[in-house]
Structure 1
Amino acid sequence: MKFFAGAAVLLLLFALAPFASVPAGHRGVMTTFGNPSDQVLSEGIHFRVPLAQKLNLVNVSIQKGEGEGDAASRDLQTVHTRIALNYHVKPEGAVSVFRDLGNEPGERIIIPAVQEAVKAVTARFTAEELIAKRTDVRDQIIAQLRERLARHAIVVDEFSIVNFNFSKSFNDAIEAKTTAEQLKLKAERDLQRIEVEAKQRVAQARAEAESLAIQRQQVTPELIRLREMENQRMAIDKWDGKLPNVAGGAVPFINVK
Structure 2
Amino acid sequence: MSRQTVQSWQSLIGGIILALIVLIAFNAFVIINPGQAGVISILGKARDGALLEGLHFKPPLVSKVDIYDVTVQKFEVPAQSSTKDLQDLSASFAINFRLDPLQVVDIRRTQGTLQNIVSKIIAPQTQESFKIAAARRTVEEAITQRTLLKEDFDNALSSRLEKYGILVLDTSVVDLTFSPEFARAVEEKQIAEQRAQRAVYIAREAEQEALADINRAKGKAEAQRLLAETLKAEGGGLVLQKEAIEAWRTGGSQMPNVLVIGDSSKNSVPFLFNLGSLE
Same fold, TM-score > 0.5, yes or no: yes
- Which of 149, 152, 158 matches 1:146? 158
Q: Is the 8 A contact 1:85 1:158 kept in 2?
A: yes
- Which of 70, 90, 94 matches 2:104? 94
Which blocks of at least 5 consecutive residues in structure 2 are unaligned?
1-7, 242-260, 263-268
Sort the Cα spacing of 1:212 and 1:28 in 2 relative to 1 into closer, same or farther, 3 A.
same
Correspondence 1:182 to 2:191: no
Sort the Cα spacing of 1:166 and 1:231 in 2 relative to 1 into closer, same or farther, 3 A.
farther
Provide the rounded CA distance (Å) in 2 between the counterparts of 1:221 and 1:47. Answer: 123
1:158 partner amino acid? D
Q: What corresponds to 1:9 in structure 2?
A: 18
SS in 2 for 1:233: strand
CA deviation vs aligned residue, 1:119-165 (integer Å, no higher than 9, x gap): 12212211111100111010001111111111122111001111111
Q: What corresponds to 2:4 in structure 1?
A: none
Provide the rounded CA distance (Å) in 1 between the counterparts of 2:171 and 2:275. Answer: 100
Sort the Cα spacing of 1:221 and 1:123 in 2 relative to 1 into closer, same or farther, 3 A.
closer
RMSD, aligned CA: 2.5
TM-score normalised by length of structure 2: 0.77
Residue 8 of structure 1: how far off its partner (Å): 6.9
SS in 2 for 1:30: strand
Residue 79 of structure 1: how far off its partner (Å): 1.2
- Which of 11, 25, 45 matches 2:35? 25
Provide the rounded CA distance (Å) in 1 between the counterparts of 2:107 and 2:155. Answer: 21
Which blocks of at least 5 consecutive residues in structure 1 are unaligned?
239-257
Provide the rounded CA distance (Å) in 2 between the counterparts of 1:216 and 1:139. Answer: 76
Q: Is the 8 A contact 1:58 1:98 kept in 2?
A: no
CA deviation vs aligned residue, 1:167-196 (integer Å, no higher than 9, x gap): 212111111111111111121112112211
Q: What corresponds to 1:58 in structure 2?
A: 68
SS in 2 for 1:148: helix
- Which of 112, 135, 142 matches 2:124? 112
Q: Is the 8 A contact 2:39 2:51 kept in 1?
A: yes
Sort the Cα spacing of 1:194 and 1:5 in 2 relative to 1 into closer, same or farther, 3 A.
farther
TM-score normalised by length of structure 1: 0.83
SS in 2 for 1:40: coil
Among the aligned pairs, what percent are the same residue? Answer: 29
Provide the rounded CA distance (Å) in 1 between the counterparts of 2:93 and 2:36. Answer: 26
Count of residue pairs the alignment pairs up: 238
2:120 partner amino acid? R
Provide the rounded CA distance (Å) in 1 between the counterparts of 2:172 and 2:120. Answer: 21
SS in 1 for 2:95: strand
1:159 partner amino acid? T
- Which of 247, 259, 271 matches 1:232? 271
SS in 2 for 1:38: coil
Residue 21 of structure 1: how far off its partner (Å): 2.1
Correspondence 1:170 to 2:182: yes
Q: Is the 8 A contact 2:125 2:160 kept in 1?
A: yes
2:163 partner amino acid? R
